[in-house]
Amino acid sequence: MTRPLINRIPWTLIVFLVLLPVPFLGSRFYTFVATDIVILSLFATSLNLLLGTTGLVTFGHAAYFSIGAYTTALLMKNLGFPFLPSWIAGGLMAAGFALVFGFFCVRLTKIYFAMLTLAFAQIVWAICFKWNDVTGGEQGLPNVPYPGLDWMEVLPLIGDLRVSDKFYYVALALVALCYAALRRITLSPFGRVLTVIRDNPERAQFIGVNVRLYELAAFMVSGAFAGLSGALFGIFNRGVFPDFAFWTKSAEPLIMTILGGMAHFWGPAVGAAALILLNQQITSYTEYWPFVLGGVLIVLLFVFPGGIVGTLTKLGRRIGGRDA
Amino acid sequence: MSALLEVRDIHTAYGQSRVLFGISLEVAPQECVCLLGRNGVGKTTTMRSIMGLTPPSSGRVTWKGKEITGWAPHRVARAGIGFVPEDRRIFAELTTWENLDVARQVAGRPGGWDIPAVYRLFPKLEELRDRPGGFLSGGEQQMLTIARTLLGNPELLLLDEPSEGLAPLVVEQLLERVLELKQKGLTILLAEQGVEFSLAVADRVYVLEKGEVRYSGSAASLRDDAALRHQLLAL
């Protein structure tokens, strides 16, 4: 198989290396923004396994993000578990819930599927909001501890950094691993069947694909990575709150993905970076951020429907000839 | 005659619009049966009913003596019925090879068809292996669709209007391939509007009209009887 050169470049590794020096730029703020982008880009990319790869529109991805966040926070804060097993447990718990909710969701199609994902997410939100004894209710779970990062002191350069900088490296490394896994899944034969389902579910069926089963598998994998992202976000945010599960949180990765371009693996990540940086810039000038965001989305949908990455690839193709 | 596929009095509708009014037909092992009729008489719907894509509201579909009415399409496919739809669209973003590989991967049935075997049947596909499906010609897409279906190792091939929209020369090549499949012992249920293609391959013919079987008989009798042909098909 001859794959275009651009697909053979180890992008995950390159992006990882490019992002390594951020804490050495000298500003605590840069590290903060970079950590935010790195973690939320994973949330958006996990969503894109459903949206861009399988063609399933979900309005309830925040459910799995918050389940991951709460699970990890509860294990670390209340039960004193170490970070790594708590983080993995967050992903597994999100995968488990995605399996149960997805079992019902994949029985429906299109808008009904989307509405059911939203319904389940709102149930999760209601539980987070009201189950005071476990989730802390409206107050959430503040003061989620940082992972023990003392072991990093033996590392050259990094050893002397602030704890938030050290956590940035933990998040960056773990998210890079998640990206490598998601990339492999997308390009695997399993991923190709998902593409086939997106192209035409009926056609997929009569060549023998059990469409629901594949959709459920995609839903679960996607939920797992959303959970892993939420788990990191809870720690980064120094607390987990019910609005992690609220429906507006489900819109965030959708907007990021559409902004970046859902037809490309790296689209959601670019979209996450663009959205967060834009938000930082705009809110320093005006309080009407939603107004600006709405305007950006309208222009995007009408003028650049492929998102940032889609438009750039098209431009690259035009400049570099047809086979670029 | 012990039929491989037996369709008994099926009625099928798309929502409120009823299309089939009690179609019955049989296909024996290694037979090539053709559904003949103009546009809109229910040929495609009959095939979709058999596949479970549009399940019939009443009636029965029996496969090797087992009732399969209402089965999900992927189960029907895995039971050994391969469907080559009329629109013959392939997965446009995947290359020829990827189209075939997906079909091979999900086949779930053992059998003699693998990618080299379909390349032997359609050598053109091997030349086009790295081309995206969306950039294939109509005839090439038809070959790819048939090849993809064969990789599921079907015992019965449902071919829905394979010659539609293809140039005469391409239709001729396709006809040869279908005859080759028939000689290999594959059972075929064909839907066609044109008599030339169908009468060239079919053993038996069902002529459909307005969702009902108007005539059934051997292809030879229809071939030899111009008057009957004219009466049934107004040709």
Is some CB atom of chain B closer than 8 A to the CB atom of A323?
no
**pLDDT grade for B110, boundaries at 50, 70 and 90:** confident
Q: What is the mean pLDDT of chain A?
A: 90
Please give the order of strands across the beta sheet that includes B187-192.
B81-84, B156-160, B187-192, B32-36, B204-209, B212-218
Number of CB atoms found within 10 A of residue A160's CB: 11
Contact at CB, A195 and B94, closer than 8 angstroms: yes
| Contact (CB<8Å) A196/B94 | yes
What pLDDT, on the 0 to 100 scale, is given for residue A10? 84
Smallest Cα distance from B103 to chain A, Å: 6
Going by pLDDT thresholds of 50, 70 and 90, the confidence category of residue A253 is very high
Q: pLDDT value at position B112? A: 83
State whether residue A157 sits within 8 Å of chain B by CB. Answer: no
| Predicted confidence band of residue B38 (pLDDT cuts 50, 70, 90) | confident
Does the pLDDT at position B87 exceed 90?
no
The DSSP bridge pattern shows strands B5-14 and B17-27 to be: antiparallel
Contact A205 B97 (CB under 8 A): no
Which positions in chain B touch A199 (Cβ < 8 Å)?
A: 91-94
- CB-CB under 8 Å, B89 with A196: no
User: What is the pLDDT averaged over residues A252-280?
Assistant: 93
Window from A33-37, A138-142, A239-243 with minimum mean pLDDT = A138-142
* A2 DSSP 8-state letter: P
For the segment B127-154, the average pLDDT, to the nearest whole number, is: 91
What pLDDT, on a 0 to 100 scale, did the predictor assign at position A321? 60
CB B162 within 8 A of CB B174: yes
Interface residue A193 vs chain B (CB under 8 A): yes
Structure confidence at residue A281 (pLDDT): 87
Please write down the HEC assignment for all residues of A107-130: CCCHHHHHHHHHHHHHHHHHHHHH
Nearest to A269 by CA among A61, A42, A12: A42
Q: Is the CB of B72 inside 8 Å of chain A's CB atoms?
A: yes
Task: Using the predicted structure, report yes or no on whether residue A198 has a pLDDT greater than 50.
Answer: yes
B88 close contact with A: CB closer than 8 A: no
pTM, full prediction: 0.85
Interface membership of B86 toward A (CB under 8 Å): no
Structure tokens, A145: 């501890």
Q: Which of chain A's residues have a Cβ under 8 Å away from the Cβ of B94?
A: 192, 195-196, 199
Q: What confidence score (pLDDT) does residue A1 get? A: 42
The alpha-carbon gap from A199 to the nearest alpha carbon of chain B, in Å, equals 7
8 Å CB contact of B77 and A210: no
Is the per-residue pLDDT at A38 higher than 60? yes
* B110–chain A Cβ distance below 8 A for any pair: no
pLDDT band of A5, cuts 50, 70, 90: low
B143 burial (CB, 10 Å; 0-12 / 13-18 / 19+) is buried
Are A207 and B103 inside 8 Å of each other by CB?
yes
How far apart are the CA of A195 and the nearest CA of chain B, in angstroms? Answer: 9
* Interface contact A208-B103, CB threshold 8 A: yes
Give the mean model confidence (pLDDT) for residues A187-207.
91
Asked whether the predicted pLDDT for residue B146 surpasses 50, the reply is: yes
- Interchain proximity B91–A199, CB inside 8 Å: yes
For residues B84-111, give the mean pLDDT.
Answer: 85
Q: To the nearest whole angstrom, how far is the Cα of A273 from the nearest Cα of chain B? A: 28
**Does residue A3 register a pLDDT over 60?**
no
Q: Give DSSP secondary structure letters for B46-114.
A: HHHHHHTSS--SEEEEEETTEE-TT--HHHHHHHTEEEE-TT----TTSBHHHHHHHHHHH--S-SS--
Interfacial B residues in 13-32 facing A (CB < 8 Å): none
**Mean pLDDT across the stretch B33-45?**
90
* Least Cα separation, residue B21 to chain A (angstroms): 24
Least CB–CB distance from B74: residue in A1, A192, A205: A205
* pLDDT exceeds cutoff 80 at A7: no
Range B184-189 average pLDDT: 93
CB pairs below 8 Å between A and B: how many?
Answer: 65
B106 inside 8 A of chain A by CB = yes
pLDDT at position B221:
86
Nearest CA in chain B to A208: B74
pLDDT tens-digit readout, B205-233: 999 988 999 888 888 888 888 888 887 77
> pLDDT tens across A65-100, in order?
999 999 999 999 999 899 999 999 999 999 999 999
Per-window interface: B 202-231 vs A, CB < 8 A: none
Contact A206 B83 (CB under 8 A): yes
**What's the CA angle centered on B57, arms A56 and B44, to 5 degrees?**
70
Q: In this complex, do B73 and A206 lie within 8 Å of one another by their Cβ atoms?
A: yes
pLDDT at site A110: 85
Q: How confident is the model at residue B88 (pLDDT cuts 50, 70, 90)?
A: low
Decide yes or no: CATH 3.40.50.300 for domain B31-44+72-205+214-233: yes
A263 touches chain B (CB under 8 A): no
Q: Is B73 on the interface with A (CB under 8 A)?
A: yes
Tell whether the model's pLDDT for residue A203 goes beyond 50.
yes
- Bridge-based pairing of strands B187-192 and B32-36 is parallel
Phi-psi region of B42 (alpha: psi -120 to 50; beta: other; left: phi over 0): left
CB contact under 8 A, B106 and A208: yes
Q: For residues B35 and B44, what is the distance between their CA atoms, to the nearest angstrom?
A: 9
Please tell me the distance in Å from B128's CA to the nearest CA on chain A. Answer: 12
Average pLDDT of span A291-314? 88
> Residue A4: what pLDDT?
58
